[in-house]
């Protein structure tokens, strides 16, 4: 499992991103809130000044206007300073903020427009806050503080993610470890009961049901394979004994009887290999062992002899280019099935030319000059019941070969060109 795709990594990243977002949102709220409080403070003071002047103006139209260094009042739009824009002179009562640039100097004003009692003129209260806004001076420091706070919140989020992820994924880790130790022959009874009735518990229960179904399926398959192989041995043994008995009689040494007896002998040998192969495949652990070895050269030579009758009346040359010292830690029955399927296909579908059997890259190849395999079937040729347009049989030979190679950890590779031939290679995982 790659780290960036692990559930724990995702939880930690989620906490870290949450910390960044939380810090950024909190910082934006703080800065925005401070600016809002600053604006409200200035306007609150201006309302107080405007209210005081309005009371004085109601008693005396010549009341003195507010006039300080920063706060100045004007009655009537015509009395406003010339540097202020004309839009302000037409403004209705309300609150305004304005930035004015005059002689390369930028000035910020807060402006309050209100009515006067017993007058049609507007009262303008203008507050020069250019030098009074505290946030203009503390913003850099405030941003630095907020960035540090955001970093600390992010670090805290990541730390919490690391701590929390352990407890969050602990049931999943335990389930994964328990599942890894389970084999089809040894499934703990009701192991899903060890988990709470949550998402992990649901996964554990579903997995337990699936494992039990798989176990039942494997048991049925193994029982069928063992029983079928056992039941087939008896008639095969009888046929083998009868054919050997017939072959020992003097009357059997005639050309008319030798040919069917040889066919019976080849069929018995093939059936014995198939039965032994089924018994090996029925085992869950089909491991390679040095206790059971076979010579690849002998198996190939015997398989060629067994299928030699397929080349009768054909002008086909067979060349076996395998060294006799190549041995495989595999039961000979399995290798015999592999070789028989490849050689029988080559013999069946080659009418003229050459069949070359040779060693290559820790494996062996059977190359022929036969009819080849159609391109649209080449990628599916190892599937069950798939055969070419001129194919014979049921289309199971290469499928059996493919499955045996999978169980042994070997590789079956088939290349073919129509009307030019086929090259089928088996590459071993290891050889002696």
The top-level CATH class assigned to 286-427 is alpha beta
Judge whether residue 104 has pLDDT over 80.
no
Q: Which residue has the higher pLDDT, 311 or 432?
A: 311
Residues 150/137, Cβ–Cβ less than 8 Å = no
Cα separation of 25 and 263, whole Å? Answer: 87
Phi, psi of 161 (to 5 degrees): -60, -40
Q: Among residues 359, 356, 306, which one has the least CA distance to residue 328?
A: 359
Q: What is the pLDDT of residues 225-271, one digit of tens each?
A: 777 776 777 788 888 888 888 888 887 778 777 878 888 887 887 77
pLDDT of amino acid 297: 94
Cα separation of 355 and 304, whole Å? Answer: 11
Q: What is the pLDDT of residues 47-84, one digit of tens each?
A: 998 999 889 888 888 888 898 888 999 998 888 888 88
pTM of the predicted structure, to 2 decimals: 0.52
Angle at which helices 255-281 and 332-348 pack, to 10 degrees?
Answer: 130
The helix/strand/coil state of 96 is: strand
pLDDT of amino acid 216: 82
Q: What is the mean pLDDT of residues 198-224?
A: 81
Judge whether residue 392 has pLDDT over 80.
no
The domain spans of the chain are 7-139, 286-427
Judge whether residue 393 has pLDDT over 60.
yes
Q: Among residues 378, 347, 361, which one has the least CA distance to residue 429?
A: 361
How sure is the predictor about 135, in pLDDT bands with cuts at 50, 70 and 90?
low
Location of structure tokens 């005396």: 60
Location of structure tokens 């050269």: 297
The half-sphere exposure of 184 on its side-chain side, counting CA atoms within 13 A, is 14
Q: What is the mean pLDDT of residues 316-329?
A: 92
The helix/strand/coil state of 371 is: coil
Residues 381/258, Cβ–Cβ less than 8 Å = no
pLDDT of amino acid 408: 87
Q: Which residue has the higher pLDDT, 229 or 206?
A: 206
Burial of 345 (0-12, 13-18, 19+ CB in 10 A): buried
Q: What is the mean pLDDT of residues 394-405?
A: 86
The residues, ordered by sequence, that sit 6+ positions from 99 with a Cβ below 8 Å of its Cβ are 106, 107, 108, 109
Q: Which residue has the higher pLDDT, 392 or 416?
A: 416
pLDDT of amino acid 133: 63
How sure is the predictor about 424, in pLDDT bands with cuts at 50, 70 and 90?
very high
Q: What is the mean pLDDT of residues 145-150?
A: 80
Element (H, E) at 106: strand 105-115
Q: What is the mean pLDDT of residues 31-35?
A: 80
Percent of the chain with pLDDT over 70: 91
Q: What is the pLDDT of residues 281-305, one digit of tens each?
A: 666 555 555 557 889 999 999 999 9
Q: Interior CA angle at 106 toward 105 and 110, to 5°?
A: 140
Residues 368/355, Cβ–Cβ less than 8 Å = yes
């Amino acid at each position: 499992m790659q780290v960036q795709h692990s559930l724990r990594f995702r939880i930690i990243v989620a906490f870290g991103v949450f910390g960044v977002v939380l810090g950024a949102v909190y910082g934006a709220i703080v800065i925005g809130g401070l600016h809002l409080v600053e604006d409200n403070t200035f306007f609150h003071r201006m309302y107080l000044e405007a209210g005081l002047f309005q009371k004085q103006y109601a008693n005396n139209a010549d009341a003195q206007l507010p006039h300080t260094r920063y706060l100045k009042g004007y009655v009537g739009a015509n009395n406003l300073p010339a540097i202020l824009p004309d839009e302000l002179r037409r403004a209705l009562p309300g609150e305004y903020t304005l930035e004015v640039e005059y002689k390369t100097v930028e000035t910020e004003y807060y402006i309050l427009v209100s009515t006067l009692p017993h007058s049609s003129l507007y009262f303008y209260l203008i507050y020069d806050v250019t030098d009074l806004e505290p946030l203009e001076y503390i913003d850099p420091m405030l941003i630095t503080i907020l960035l540090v706070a955001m970093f600390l919140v992010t670090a805290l989020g990541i730390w919490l993610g690391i701590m929390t992820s352990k407890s969050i994924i602990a049931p999943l880790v335990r389930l994964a470890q328990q599942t890894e130790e389970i084999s089809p022959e040894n499934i703990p009874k009701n192991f899903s009961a060890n988990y709470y009735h949550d998402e992990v518990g649901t996964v554990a229960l579903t997995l337990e049901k699936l494992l039990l179904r798989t176990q039942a399926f494997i048991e049925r398959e193994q029982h069928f394979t063992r029983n079928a192989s056992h039941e087939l041995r008896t008639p095969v043994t009888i046929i083998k004994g009868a054919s050997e008995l017939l072959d020992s009689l003097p009357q059997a040494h005639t050309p008319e009887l030798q040919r069917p007896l040889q066919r019976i002998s080849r069929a018995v040998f093939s059936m014995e290999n198939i039965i032994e192969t089924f018994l090996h495949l029925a085992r869950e652990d089909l491991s390679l062992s040095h206790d059971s070895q076979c010579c690849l050269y002998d198996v190939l030579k015997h398989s060629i002899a067994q299928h030699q009758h397929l080349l009768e009346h054909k002008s086909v040359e067979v060349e076996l280019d395998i060294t006799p010292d190549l041995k495989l830690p595999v039961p000979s029955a399995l290798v015999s099935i592999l070789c028989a399927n490849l050689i029988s296909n080559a013999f069946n579908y080659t009418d003229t030319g050459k069949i070359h059997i040779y060693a290559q890259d820790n494996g062996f190849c059977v190359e022929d000059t036969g009819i080849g395999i159609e391109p649209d079937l080449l990628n599916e040729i190892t599937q069950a019941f798939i055969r070419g347009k001129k194919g014979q049989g049921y289309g199971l030979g290469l499928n059996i070969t493919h499955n045996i190679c999978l169980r042994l950890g070997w590789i079956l590779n088939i290349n073919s060109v129509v009307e030019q031939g086929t090259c089928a290679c088996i590459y071993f995982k290891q050889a002696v």
